[in-house]
Amino acid sequence: MSPLLELAGVGASYGGRRIIEEISLRVEAGEIATIIGHNGSGKSTLLKAIFNLVPWRTGVIRFGGRDLGRLAPDRILAAGISYIPQNRSVFPRLTVADNLRMGAYLLRDAGLARERTRAVEALFPVLVERREQLAGTMSGGEQRMLEVARALVMEPKLIMLDEPSIGLAPKMVDAVFRAVRLLRDQGKAVLMVEQNVTKALAISDRGYVMELGRIRLEDRAASLIGDERVKRLYLGRRAAAS
Hey, where are the domains in the chain? 5-234
pLDDT at 8 over 50: yes
Closest CA to 83 of 191, 194, 180: 191
What is the C-alpha to C-alpha distance for residues 34 and 209, in angstroms, rounded to an integer? 9
Residues in the chain: 242
The residues that bridge with 189 in the sheet, in sequence order, are 158
Least confidently predicted of 11-25, 78-92, 119-133, 228-242:
228-242
Kindly tell me if the per-residue pLDDT of 242 is higher than 60: no
If one compares 25 and 15, the residue with the highest pLDDT of the two is: 25
For the chain, what percent of residues have pLDDT higher than 70? 97
Indicate whether 241 pLDDT > 80.
no
Burial level of 95, CB count in 10 A (0-12/13-18/19+)? middle
88 confidence band (pLDDT: 50, 70, 90): confident
Please measure the distance between the N-terminal and C-terminal CA atoms of the chain and give it in whole angstroms: 42
Percent of the chain with pLDDT over 90: 69
Provide the pLDDT for residue 113.
Answer: 86
Q: CA angle at residue 68 from 197 to 144, to 5 degrees? A: 40
Mean of pLDDT values over 169-173: 89
At residue 88, what is the residue type? R
Can you give the pTM of this predicted structure? 0.90
In this predicted structure, what is the pLDDT of residue 238? 44
CATH class, domain 5-234, is alpha beta
**Is the predicted pLDDT of residue 199 greater than 80, yes or no?**
yes
- Strands 206-211 and 32-36 come out as parallel
Q: What is the pLDDT of residues 93-136, one digit of tens each?
A: 999 999 999 888 888 888 888 899 998 898 888 899 999 999 99
